[in-house]
Chains A and B, each alone.
Chain A
């Protein structure tokens, strides 16, 4: 008993004798010394940090077998066995880098992200709201990005020589049908959804993931806010209307409800309009959004459920002149009712599994009256999706998903009791693997397959992309892929068995962010096949076939700078598109009207602290729209003059919770022409009379007052973005 005790005492005192000195150098794989690395004996207080050269040295009183732990941010922790016996030890350690998806290279080919969290982004979510000239329209803000073309008489998103139907839009991963408001021809429309809803967006101008299909040119994925910060009420009073939004938050859930009403009649009665309105556009909408999260992402399983419902109604009546006819022309009346709802979820289990998916439904009803003839068109889209992602290691992850679409369309000449419709079921599967060779090199390969019950056709689209990051932070990426898309419903109704059109993309991209400056350069080639062609008019097409083909190639540049000029943030884009295609009723390959060759934009935001104001400027420009003149031989022989629009805006914050926003488009008052319409028949002299397709008014001016009511007196509507 006594003996044991003595031995223990001896052992303890023994430890205080001979110290072991441990020293060495910690380097990365290339042999460069790593500073600030944590080096210590596991399970003891003995340890130190490396100096600026990567060298370290410390002493320990521990004896026997010990474990030397070497730990540094961005590297794999390494343990080294040591035998401490009072003699000096040298241990040099080479650390291997750890794959960190947050800081590793990302694929930027074709992709433009707006996000607060990620690095390779061109925009912040707030930019979409504060871009001058966008007037709160998501699409209008995206049109200041490279790869897009402004088509002023349409308002939708045109990407790289593709028409507007070639862009698919998603909210929280679920597809949205009829994302743009219904409108009469040559009267521009807007996105139906308020930009204040979304926290981030992913806009691809080509070469996108196998997760997205049935879009030949582009995918736009919008993600709604997670949990808002606080309870608040947002009141807006604007020249075209007003609305109120109430947000209620709990610890793990939130509810937002909003209602808006717009009527352009008072505005149009004061400002001269070029369009001949009988009833100015009038609309109402209401929205409910519910969010609930659970679990703790840091520890183990966590998830989130989101539900979003949007419903709206619009009405308008407009007179449209007929070329060669002196009268008021055709009267077009439209009543639109629209509803969209989706439920989406995501669940991670902390062991490398992520499940997400949901269900969505869109319903669009357009009740038209063309002069005296009533017509009703109903478009429906149901979408269900389930995706599983498994991270097998930090390097390799695999995504597997199934999707089911039901696309329906009906049109009815209500006066004549004539009705036709179709319903198409589409089943899709996609699988995509991504592999990080290092933090610098990543490759992604995917395959999307689909089947349409109506077209009785199965298809398979391979996709591939890779990215490599250089020493100086710049990176180069490449993407290629095949894309299939069925014709739009208004063509399909004439020939429901119509099979897919297709496109192949090749994209090469260079991207660098450094010190608040961003440069993005991209070259692309897109090959179109099996485009739908017909004879006659779009309303009564004959001999519908898939005989068209074409291409679009070009490059674009984006430069953003927040540094050079004090408190000025600006970006400049230039896009060159060379596109020709045979499609619709064209007998040869032509440059489409929606693909101007040279496109550019400049956006600048200047913050003036003294005035509590942000001044905005945006200028967009293109080299003119091709159009077809039946008085000349051939097709699409002519081109309009250049398009140019300079918009200015002023946001003033008199108090933290009040924003006054004033904006005016086309301040220089240019008369932009987007093309010409021609008479169906030649007049007595044998020539076809024409009318220019122009702007609804020379300028659009907007003034809005946005007030936020909450306990936090400093909160305003932009805080959640």
Chain B
């Protein structure tokens, strides 16, 4: 019996590099990541969130499933047809998922940035009621992420967005915000997106950076 196991193990080891095929985990992740990044549809985002939950259950040591499920939840909250308490419900779920991801991969700038993104989503859900209290929290979280990785294009673009909003509010110059947005876009353009996708690492945010840079002109 021992030999059987050994042979099977060997078979796998041999076959892996030869076929260079994705594991079921990678296959499922890639499919859902693509779905999340190419839709605005609420049911599709819900389906993808569910799919990530299924993947997470089978791969309890990976942080990406929880991360992307949180992303799918956060994208849902930007849907205009959703009532405030439903938005808060999905964002509370996103909070839980980020805690889970953070426990699996502590000090990860991507996860901390995601946390800031959830805060920004909460703020966007009720800007008049939450702007004052949450803008500080968002900036602080982004600062934390920036301290770990100052070249993360998502951290940069979210910071740029916050700075842009505040500069507009106070009628001050948008130079700082625009500088950050351009820096972010440059990093997005320079990176090897396919390699990141293959490694299941986040790639979202380029559209936001392009939009913001467009506004800066």
Contacts and interface: CB of A to CB of B under 8 A. Distances in A.
Nearest to B162: A714
Nearest to A605: B128
A561 to B, nearest CB: 12
B54 A229 contact: no
A102 B91 CA distance: 13
A49 B170 contact: no
B43 A36 contact: yes
B186 interface: no
Contact of A721 (B53, B55, B133): B133
Contacts of B198: none
Contacts of B206: none
A719 B136 contact: yes
Contact of B136 (A52, A71, A715): A715
A562 B54 contact: no
A4 B4 contact: yes
Interface string B23-53: 0100010000000000000010011001101
Interface residues of A, number: 49
Contacts of B4: 1, 4-5, 8
Interface residues of B, number: 44
Interface string A80-105: 00000000000000000000001100
B132 A229 contact: no
Given A45-B55, A718-B132, A712 B7 contact: no
A612 interface: yes
A607 B170 contact: no
B95 to A, nearest CB: 9
Interface in A356-396: none
B47 A48 contact: yes
A231 to B, nearest CB: 11
A38 B43 CA distance: 12
A126 B54 contact: no
Given A40-B54, A48-B47, A712-B143, A102 B136 contact: no
Contacts of B47: 36, 48-49
A718 B55 CA distance: 42
A38 B171 contact: no
Interface in B62-94: 83-85, 89-90, 92-93
B140 A1 contact: no
A116 B166 CA distance: 22
B54 A719 contact: no
Contacts of B103: 298-299
Contacts of B139: 712, 714
B133 A656 contact: no
A387 B130 CA distance: 33
A103 to B, nearest CB: 7
B170 A73 contact: no
Contacts of A116: 130, 133
B170 A653 contact: yes
A562 B43 contact: no
Nearest to A513: B85
A124 B43 contact: no
A149 B132 CA distance: 30
Contacts of A5: 4, 7
B88 to A, nearest CB: 8
Contact of B132 (A4, A515, A569, A719): A719
B128 A569 contact: yes
Contacts of B171: 612
B137 interface: yes
B58 interface: yes
A296 B88 CA distance: 22
Contacts of B84: 515-516
A40 B58 CA distance: 12
A433 interface: no
Interface string B131-158: 0110111011001000000000000000
B169 interface: yes
A656 B166 contact: yes
B89 A103 contact: yes
Interface string A700-715: 0000000000001011
Interface string A9-47: 000000000000000000000000001111010111101
A721 B50 contact: no
Contacts of A562: 128-129
Given A126-B133, A567-B128, A714-B139, A36 B7 contact: no
6 contacts: A4-B4, A36-B47, A40-B50, A116-B133, A516-B84, A712-B139
Given A1-B4, A45-B24, 12 more contacts: A4-B1, A40-B50, A49-B50, A51-B43, A116-B130, A229-B137, A229-B140, A298-B99, A612-B169, A656-B166, A712-B136, A714-B135
